[in-house]
Structure formats: structure tokens, C-alpha cells
Amino acid sequence: MSADQNIRELQIIILLAFCMVGFTFLLQGNVGINLADEGFLWYGALRTGLGDIPIRDFNSYDPGRYFWTALWMKVFGNGILSFRMSGAIFQFLGLACGLLALSRVIKSRLLLLLGAVPLLLWMFPRHKIFEHSISMILVCMAVLLYEQPTLRRYFISGVLVGLAAFFGKNHGLYSFTAFLAIIVFLRFKLAEDHLPKKLLYWVCGMVLGFLPVVLMIMFVPGFARAYWESIMFLFNLGGTNIPLPVPWPWLADFNRGSLVSAIRQTMSGVFFLAMPVYFAGALMYMIAADARKLRHAAVFVVSVLVGIPYMHMAFSRADIPHLAQGIHPFLLSVLALPLLQRKRYAVTGVAILLSMLSLLSVGLISPYYFYAAQQPDKFIAYEVRGDKILMDPQAAGVIATVEKIHRELVKPGEQLLIAPHWPMFYALLDRKAPLKETYFLFLKPHELQRGMIDALKTQNTRWVILGDIALDGRDDLRFKNTHRLLWEYFEKEFQQVTYDGLPSNYRLLKKKPD
């Protein structure tokens, strides 16, 4: 293929990715609101834009996604639609890279469009778009390295591994493991030479990609300690998430709940079952297959080697949103599988099958599905910092109540704490949280809780909106058990104020007179 043809194909891929992401944003960008995880990211991006440092000044994911989001919000504004638009731009980059990798095996533009459908459907939820996109960016770069393992591509691969760690420690680990496996595969299966020199370039690239974190550790006061504590927190936790049991397809209950819910559970269970089985079979095939055949199977091979570590993200909390965060290398590999046997006609069937299974799983929890499947009066347009967002009346009512509490009761100079799972309100109310912690999920040591109490006193926190919620039905994850000293402090030093509009398991508390 000539250089002009390559440029033309790249332009088509970029245009396709842009149109698909743009259409999705127009369709559901203003539908729904997530008071928990989405608010956690939006609040952090707002604070980053004001000069706060992620991890050091507020509990957060890794800094990369906050700097990215805050940068684009400087362009578009600080509203929730601007925040979501910044994610859509990263989504476009990820989908374009996924399609670029897929175009290596799918030459038909119509078929490429069909293959893009499951990739796009699984880019859910929108506040986790970095996870989906980074995995596809890594696959794309891995394909380029596999096809031409030059020193330059080793170096760029290393840069991407370092940058992945800047966006998420887990991404750094996954990408390091994946590319190391690809390098080993190239050396011992495909007999690539000059490995020590190539490894040196790869390591130098990683150092450069991780340089933003290194510079923050060196020159941002307090960041080194906070970053180390964030690493130790994961070790002490023993994972990256609160685990859930795997919803295997045979566990779906068609006797309770709705038929849609049972179908969704079954189809998600099919994906949870298919991923490890597929990767195990693919890996055995790759070890046994003739090297000459694998030489031209770049997309299949690297998607397997990237997908295996990313499977951890899917199983770390086995629900559809976390499955979505680790599934894209699997989808790319499955779409490339028919080409191993040169059965191009089978790609159409595989793409249609993946699209149907995706629609019946992640498609049934997409914002647009919830909006389209409800009666018109089940959604209302509510203004969120200048943007009209379509949401269910119950969520709108809670937001209106908290806004009213803030407007009518919280005086200038007083602080409001909202716990445990509503960090979105700090962004909605445009105020800084009184504590570094905004999302109270995990058991905290008493020493740290005493520090929180001192901070609340220093910040003149006189109002608290406090929930009593058994996350995942677990009593040990209630706030009063994960933050017992804080709970006791509120019980002793605060009094309940009757206020209509809050959910039954939430209370409004006011500091007792000194």
C-alpha cells in the first residue's frame, strides 16, 4: 500500500472514530448523572484546575487523567457537559487506535464500522473512558512494534508504558507486563535479535513517559509522601477494588426481577466465562503454532498478550462496568481470530455476534437505554451548573434538596461535609470539601480518623449530610464501621435536623453549640 493510500485509510479511520464518538455524545451526553464515581473524577478535575495536586490535596486516581480533564475544561468550561466532553476526546483517541489496529486485518470499511460497534458499546461508563482508551492505545502500539520491532518503536512503546502509569498505577503494571510478554514472544518465538539494545531503548522510553510523576515527586512538596502512601494503600488493601462474586451465566435468576435484568446478567456472565477460556486457548495456540503463521497475526497475538493482564481489571470487581474496563483487547483479538484461518467471511458473523451480545449486556445499562426505555415523565431536565441534564426525578429531587440546604442553612465561613458516597455535590455546589477524603469506602485507621476530626474542627464544619449505607449489602462497609471514630464524633457533637427531601437512610446533622 502506497503512502498516499495509508494516509487516506488513516483519515477514514479518524473520521469514523470521530463520527461514532460524536454521535454517542449527542445521543446520551446529557443523560443521567452519577453522584458517586463520576462526581469523584469531576470534583478532582475542578480542584486540579484551581491548582490542587491530585493524591496530595485530595484522594484521587493517578494524576494524568486529572491534568487531561482540567486542561480541556479550561477550553470548554467547568460544567458537567464540558467535563464529559473532555472524556469524549480521550474516547475518540482510544477508539481511533482500536480501529487502526483492527484495520490491519479488516480492509472493508463497512465491516470495520461493524467491528467498531462492540468496541464503542463497551466504552462504558463514561467516567472510566481512560481505562477503555488506554488499553486500545496500547494494543495499537503493540501491533506496530510487532510488525516492525525497530529501536524507535521500542522506545515509543516504553514511553506509552510510562504514560499509562501516569494515568493509573494499574495501567502501568498491565502495560509493563503486556509489553514484556510481547518482547519475550518476539525474541523466542519469532527470533528477533539485538534484544539487549532494544530493551535499553524500551526502558529509556518508560523513564521518559513516567517523567511527569518523577518531576512531581522531586519538585512538588508533599507529593512524594502522598504518592508512596497511595501505593502502600493498595498493598494493604490487597487489591484495587471491593470484590464482587463473578456473575457466571448459570447463576442468572429468571424467577426474580425483570426479564431484562436476567438477560443482562446472563450475557455479562457469558463474557466473564469467555475471556479466560479464550485467552487460555489462544495462548496455548500461540505457543504451539508455527512462527511463520504468527508473523502476520499481529492483532491477534498482541491483543491476547495485552488482554491477559487487563483481565484483572474485569475480575477485580466482577460487574459490567469493570468488565467493560478490561474487555477491549479481548474484543479486538476475537475480531481478528477468523483471519488466522483466512476466513474473511467469518469476520462478519463474529462482529454481528459480539454486537448482539454487547447490546444485551452493557447496552442494557447504557444511559440512552435507560432514557429510551422509560416513560417520558420518568426523566426530567434539571439544570446542573448551567447545563440541562436529563435524569430521573428522584435524583433531581435529591440534588435540589442538597442545593437548598447549602443555600439556606450553610452560612459563609461554615463547611459542609457530605458522606459517604456523594462526592458529586462538591462539584455541583462549587465548594472545596473539608476533608482530603471525599468518597468513604474503605476501613480507615483510628489515627487517620482522628486527623480527620481535627481537620473538620479546623475547617469549621458545622453541617453534615450523612448516609448509612451497606454497600454491596455488606454491613462492614457501612460508614459507621469503616469510619467508627468519625461516626461517634458526629453522634456526640452533632444533632439531627429534620429536613424533607433527603433519602430515608440519610440524615442532616448540625454542630451543637460550643
Q: Is residue 375 part of a domain?
A: no
pLDDT at 1: 58
Alpha carbon distance 227, 216 (integer Å) = 10
Domain final residue pick, 315, 335, 368: 368
Total structural domains within the chain: 2
Determine, yes or no, domain membership for 240: yes
Together in a domain, 91 and 13: yes
pLDDT per 10-residue tile (average), the chain, 514 residues = 79 97 97 97 98 98 98 97 98 98 92 96 97 98 97 98 98 98 94 91 98 98 97 90 95 86 95 98 95 92 98 97 98 92 82 96 94 84 96 96 97 97 98 97 95 97 97 96 98 96 96 90
Q: Which of 326, 352, 368 is the last residue of a domain?
A: 368
446 within domain boundaries: yes
- Give the residue from 238, 296, 293, 246 showing the smallest Cα distance to 273: 246
* Calpha distance 318→301 (Å, rounded): 25
Say if residue 296 is in the same domain as residue 167: yes
The secondary structure of 340-373, three-state, reads HHCCHHHHHHHHHHHHHHHHCCHHHHCHHHHHHH
pLDDT value for 381? 95
Residue appearing with cell numbers 512524594: 224
Per-residue pLDDT at 462: 98
Residues 351 and 413 in one domain: no
Domain annotation covers residue 377 = no
The domain containing residue 463 runs over which residues?
Answer: 392-511
Same domain, 304 and 409: no
In a domain, 387, yes or no: no
Q: d(Cα 165, Cα 322) in Å, to the nearest integer?
A: 19
Nearby residues of 411 by Cβ (< 8 Å), 6 or more positions away: 462
Q: Do both 82 and 13 map to the same domain?
A: yes
What is the Cα–Cα distance from 362 to 268, expressed in whole angstroms? 8
In a domain, 14, yes or no: yes
CB atoms closer than 10 angstroms to residue 172: 21
Residue 477 placed within a domain? yes
Of 317, 336, 368, the residue at which a domain comes to its end is 368
Q: Cβ distance 208 to 162 under 8 Å?
A: yes
> Are residues 163 and 43 both part of a single domain?
yes
Q: Is 171 within 8 Å of 133 (Cβ atoms)?
A: no
Q: Are residues 413 and 334 in the same domain?
A: no
Distance CA 400, CA 373 (A): 25
**Amino acid 175: pLDDT:** 98
Indicate whether 322 and 430 sit together in one domain. no
pLDDT of residue 157: 98
Q: How far apart are CA 61 and CA 131, in angstroms?
A: 12
- Same domain? For 240 and 107 the reply is yes
Q: What is the pLDDT of residue 2?
A: 65
Both 467 and 361 in one domain: the answer is no
Are β-strands 461-467 and 415-419 bridged in parallel, bridged antiparallel, or unpaired?
Answer: parallel
Identify the pLDDT of residue 64: 98
Contact 242, 472 (CB under 8 A): yes
Does 299 share its domain with 447? no
- Tell me: do 87 and 224 sit in the same domain: yes
- Whether residue 243 is contained in a domain is answered as yes
